[in-house]
Amino acid sequence: MEYISYNSCLTEQSAQIESLILSRDQRKAYGFPVQIKSQVYVQPCQYSSRELFYTEYDTTRVCSRCQTVFEVEQDGYQRIWGDSPVCQVANHGMYNFHIHTQQSVEVLKTFQRAPKEDQWNHFMSRKLFALDVESVYTSHGQAVGRVTVVDQYGNVALDCFVKPKEMVYDYVTQYSGLTPEHLEYATETVESVRDKIFQFINRRSILVGHALNGDLKNLGIVHSEVIDTSVIFSNNGRRPSLRDLASRYLNWSIQNSANGHCSYEDSIASLNLVYFASENPHLLSPDFQKCSLSY
């Protein structure tokens, strides 16, 4: 699990890795936050019919579990009345609340970019950092519960629990690996974690992840140098799961635990998949095979 196949002396591998960076059009198409003039936009993925953001007076949300359109209070709060189930999915139990991943459109104004490259931080440029976020569901939607960032050698640069601002309704432990105990004494907020990330990356650092668009959206980060293993290995637009890719190409078994995903394990897996991709461009989506022609 600790295996990292990166050899920093291999400039050829560096060139192959650079060719995996998403273009601006790809970032837009795959739902990454992008800045156009002074505004930040996140385009819904073409495979999602769900609106990502709601405006001030819009009190309807779409449940990500049962797909029902439901109403929240004027303050965005989903109140729970009694124990009668309102949300139900076959074989997934019954719940007295819905869950959703939508955010206020106002949040887009708070998105930030990493510091510009300068004489003090230029050593961060072109370095790889793999990032993974685990999320929980609150009274107001999805929120960050844990963030892990590892450097290009797999060393942990940051791994911390994040306290959501709103009341947590569902820890989705089977996916997030998070429990009430994890977040009870957490002192970090999304803003403080983002500031910490910006202490060791600059605008030219390369962020690696799997379905990284959702992680950056939840962290409120706009970044242009990104490699996404769910995009570079996509097949006819379908984005494979990290678990399948790790099993097929790394022979690693991840996300098998009943205790849910682990953002450290997932970030290490996506980092190694990038190194694997750089050595096996013929296995990538056609858009990313062009690099193999020049060698």
Q: Which stretch binds Zn ion (CB under 5 A): 80-88, 137-145, 178-186, 277-285?
A: 80-88
Q: Which residue has the tokens 């963030």?
A: 147
How many angstroms separate the CA atoms of 242 and 240, rounded? 7
User: Which residue among 20, 22, 40, 63 contacts Zn ion (CB under 5 A)?
Assistant: 63
How many residues belong to the site for Zn ion (CB under 5 A)? 5
b or e along 235-264 (b: 16 or more beta carbons within 10 Å of the residue's beta carbon)?
eeeebeebbebbbebbebebbeeeebbbbb
User: Which residue among 27, 61, 98, 223 contacts Zn ion (CB under 5 A)?
Assistant: 98
Does 87 participate in binding Zn ion (rule CB under 5 A)? yes
In sequence order, what are the beta bridge partners of 44?
none
Does 217 participate in binding Zn ion (rule CB under 5 A)? no
Compute the C-alpha angle 278/284/286, nearest 5°.
Answer: 125
User: Which residue among 45, 66, 168, 186 contacts Zn ion (CB under 5 A)?
Assistant: 66
- Is the Cβ–Cβ distance between 72 and 78 less than 8 Å? yes
Smaller CB separation from Zn ion, 169 or 264:
169
Does 250 participate in binding Zn ion (rule CB under 5 A)? no
- How long is the chain? 295
How many angstroms separate the CA atoms of 27 and 18, rounded? 15
Q: Which stretch binds Zn ion (CB under 5 A): 39-47, 82-90, 158-166, 169-177?
A: 82-90
Q: Which stretch binds Zn ion (CB under 5 A): 60-68, 189-197, 223-231, 272-280?
A: 60-68
Smaller CB separation from Zn ion, 78 or 229:
78
Please enumerate in sequence order all residues whose Cβ is within 8 A of that of 192, keeping only pairs 6 or more positions apart, or say none.
Answer: none
Smaller CB separation from Zn ion, 87 or 128:
87
Amino acid of residue 172: V
Amino acid of residue 130: A
Largest CA distance in the chain: 65
User: Which residue among 65, 146, 182, 217 contacts Zn ion (CB under 5 A)?
Assistant: 65
Look at residues 180, 190, 203 and name the one whose alpha carbon lies nearest to residue 147.
Answer: 190
Q: Which stretch binds Zn ion (CB under 5 A): 31-39, 83-91, 173-181, 254-262?
A: 83-91
Does 61 participate in binding Zn ion (rule CB under 5 A)? no
> What residues line the site for Zn ion (CB under 5 A)?
63, 65-66, 87, 98
